Amino acid sequence: MYIKRPLPYKIFVAAIALLSQTDASATPPPAAQASAKKVLVGRHTTPIATPPTVTITSSPAIVPYNSSATLIWKSVNATACNASGGWSGALPPVGSKVVSNLTKSTTFTLACSGAGGVATQSLTVTVTPQTVATVYANTRLGVNIAGICDWCNDFTFVDLMKSARGFAKPNVAWDPVGNPATVDSNGWPTQDFGVYFTTFASDPLGRPLTQTIPSFFGTYTLSFTGQAKLFSNGCNYFTNQTYNAQLNTTSAQLVVGSNCNQLDIEFNNTQRTPTSGINTGLQNVQLLRPGYALGTSQVFTTQFLNALAPFSTLRLMNFLQTNGNTVTSWAGRTLPTAPIQHSSNGAAWEYAIQLANQSGKDIWINIPEGVDLTDPTSNNYVTQLATLLKANLNPNIHVYVEYSNELWNTMFKQTSDNFNQAQLDVSSGADKTLNYDNINNPYYWGYRRIAHQTLRISQLFAAVYGPAAINTTIRPVYMNQYVQPYLAENGLHYLQQNFGSPNQYLYGVGGAPYYGLPLAYTDLDGMFVSLLAGANQAIGGFSGIPPYNGAYPLYTGITYQSLANYFGLKNISYESGPDVSRGTSAVIDEQANNDVRIKNMLQNYLQNAIGCGNSLIMLFELQGNMGDPFAIYRDFAVPSQKSAAINAVSTTPLANLNTCTASITD
């Protein structure tokens, strides 16, 4: 009998190679396709596992504020799935889950694994903004948010590149001002460079950062276009650095351990493109905080957005770098494409709009002092800004508009600039109204110019939005020094005499009723005695009693509430809260911020302010480093005594906040 013998292995492999050179356009039958998924191992075949797939859907995909959605997913060729982003934990390959109390647009990611590898899919559930009616049913509290800088300890952006200090030469990475790296027209370095992303002030109480700033620690994700040798000072270290030649993209993870106290990266031997040589810089650098994956579309951190919940309004004075702002024209503003949003011209307006739309909060914006409000062309800074806001901002969101910040405060350059311009306007005849009564006092000219500039801003917004938007959607405010309300009275009478009733142009008037430390003290108990005395001095200005009886230049009995009542305006406070910045000891200051008495006093103070008629009282400020005595939070993950007071007041029905007293307790 003839027995058919198998071909020798070498001949078999050669035959397979020959067959592989046949016409590639010929499509093999399904059976042949299936057999192609086998690999020869000796005389046996082993199938290659099919890679898994995963799909996620949401019902519905767009949900109202504080409501629920059902996530439905299915993974084929997977044995296990793991959730991240807006959810977490192990999940089966097929299932559904209800996610509740959604207050912001949230991305849900699912990674499913099997013998053939891992498949990852993300889905964003869009949450419609909280309505203005809902906000005002809950609170008359607002907050100033932190500035954008590496030492501000702000957790605003997911990508730390946006809040970094700047690009410096790599051996002096801390000094982008004295030793800047050269950059291209888009702001990205064209040489080796270093960046400081986060730095911290020391804790007067000596606590470890893992206790005060726990969110700082973890694994960050770095990516950039090009290649580089990476280094970080201290105990930070890099892992999993990979380069994708096809995309010309490098990625790595940066681990920040429990003993670290800063975050910096030096980029050496940089190459933008594979053929560009060395030391040509990088582009598109991102450093994402722990918990955020490459490719995320989330701009603001979840912690930050959650911390905004008790407030109706966000004042962006520091975010926009109002103090010392150098911008003079719309062309000079910061663009959203700028690698770093920490700038003397402030962060991009587009990010302010995105924050408002995503949080559903009203915003309070500040117009730089140096822009020309009398520019009659379409290039007028405020005209351009109003056009941008109208085209992109949720129409349900109110916009409080203020001219610069604290133009009575001589520590700020904008104050002297305003007074100098007022004198020039009078001497040149450009603005004869400032000396309409022949007062011949340059200081009063300066204060009146603030009022006139605010009126001009109101008129410019009216030209874009329409007159009906003024004091409804657009809310121009006239802010002054809290302890000198007669200056506000002077400005309001000036407007009335020259332009008609101020409430045609203005929504509100007010100051910053901080309470400080009028009495000497030597210990924590003494500080609280002093702070309570300061609070009881401040709350006297909340009341409209006695009624307004001032008529310029008679100032007896004026408070901001009585001024507001008389001129038909709202009483609004642009900043407020306990001020221990002039304390005698940083240790006592920090102890006070962690004492329950600061909670009780702040809660009573805010309840009294609202009960006495304040339409909106803005606190200063949401978050700050250890060197910031005003901060409500050091880290959004660590509740504070101040945040407890704010939550208590914001969740109290307004109908119950109706008491106006002459004094408070702690």
Residue 614: burial class (beta carbons within 10 Å; 0-12, 13-18, 19+): buried
Residue with tokens 């006092």: 441
pLDDT in the model for residue 47:
67
For the chain, the straight-line distance linking the first and the last C-alpha, in angstroms and rounded, comes to 108
* H or E element that contains 450: helix 442-465
pLDDT in the model for residue 5:
40
**Tokens describing residue 560:** 């901001």
DSSP letters along 140-177, please? Answer: -EEEEPPPSSTTTT---BSBGGGG----B-GGGTT-TT
Residue % of the chain over a pLDDT of 70: 89
Please write down the HEC assignment for all residues of 198-240.
Answer: EECCCCCCCCCHHHHCHHHCEEEEEEEECEEEEECCCCCEEEE
pLDDT in the model for residue 353:
97
pLDDT in the model for residue 610:
93
Quick one: which of 345, 338, 388, 390 has its CA closest to 368? 345
pLDDT in the model for residue 129:
64
Confidence of residue 286 (pLDDT cuts 50, 70, 90): very high
> pLDDT tens digits for 184-194?
999 999 999 99
Rounded mean pLDDT of the chain? 88
pLDDT in the model for residue 556:
54
Confidence of residue 140 (pLDDT cuts 50, 70, 90): very high
Separation between Cα atoms, residue 499 and residue 493, nearest integer Å: 10
Residue 130 Rama label (left phi>0; alpha psi -120 to 50; beta): beta
Separation between Cα atoms, residue 132 and residue 397, nearest integer Å: 7
Which residues does 8 contact at the CB level (< 8 Å), separation at least 6? none
DSSP letters along 582-624, please? Answer: T-S-HHHHHHHHTSHHHHHHHHHHHHHHHHTT-SEEEEE-SB-
Separation between Cα atoms, residue 135 and residue 514, nearest integer Å: 24
Beta bridge partners of 243: 250
**Tokens describing residue 172:** 């002096």
| CA distances from residue 136 to 139, 141, 144, 310 in whole angstroms, order as listed | 5, 9, 18, 11
pLDDT in the model for residue 547:
56
Confidence of residue 614 (pLDDT cuts 50, 70, 90): very high
Separation between Cα atoms, residue 194 and residue 231, nearest integer Å: 9
Separation between Cα atoms, residue 590 and residue 201, nearest integer Å: 13
Confidence of residue 545 (pLDDT cuts 50, 70, 90): low
**Tokens describing residue 575:** 């900043």
pLDDT in the model for residue 115:
92
Confidence of residue 153 (pLDDT cuts 50, 70, 90): confident
Separation between Cα atoms, residue 601 and residue 579, nearest integer Å: 12
Q: What is the pTM of this model?
A: 0.80
* H or E element that contains 34: helix 30-35
Separation between Cα atoms, residue 387 and residue 381, nearest integer Å: 10
Confidence of residue 33 (pLDDT cuts 50, 70, 90): very low
**Omega of the bond leading into 274 within 30 degrees of 0 (cis):** no
**Tokens describing residue 226:** 């090009």
Burial 400-414 (b: 16+ CB within 10 A, else e): bbbbbbbbbeeebeb
Query: 3-state DSSP: the chain helix, strand, coil percent, rounded to 5?
Result: 30, 25, 45
Which of 13-17, 244-248, 446-450, 602-606 has the lowest average pLDDT?
13-17
> pLDDT tens digits for 201-237?
889 999 999 999 999 999 999 999 999 999 998 789 9
pLDDT in the model for residue 544:
62
Confidence of residue 280 (pLDDT cuts 50, 70, 90): very high
> pLDDT tens digits for 502-528?
999 999 999 999 999 999 999 999 999
341 in Cβ contact with 348 (< 8 Å): yes
Separation between Cα atoms, residue 363 and residue 143, nearest integer Å: 10
263, amino acid identity: L
Which residues does 346 contact at the CB level (< 8 Å), separation at least 6? 319, 320, 321, 322, 325, 327, 333, 334, 368
DSSP letters along 520-576, please? Answer: --SSHHHHHHHHHHHHHHHGGGG---SPP--BTTB-TT--HHHHHHHHT-EEEESS-
**Tokens describing residue 250:** 């490098």
Confidence of residue 130 (pLDDT cuts 50, 70, 90): low
Residue 89 Rama label (left phi>0; alpha psi -120 to 50; beta): left
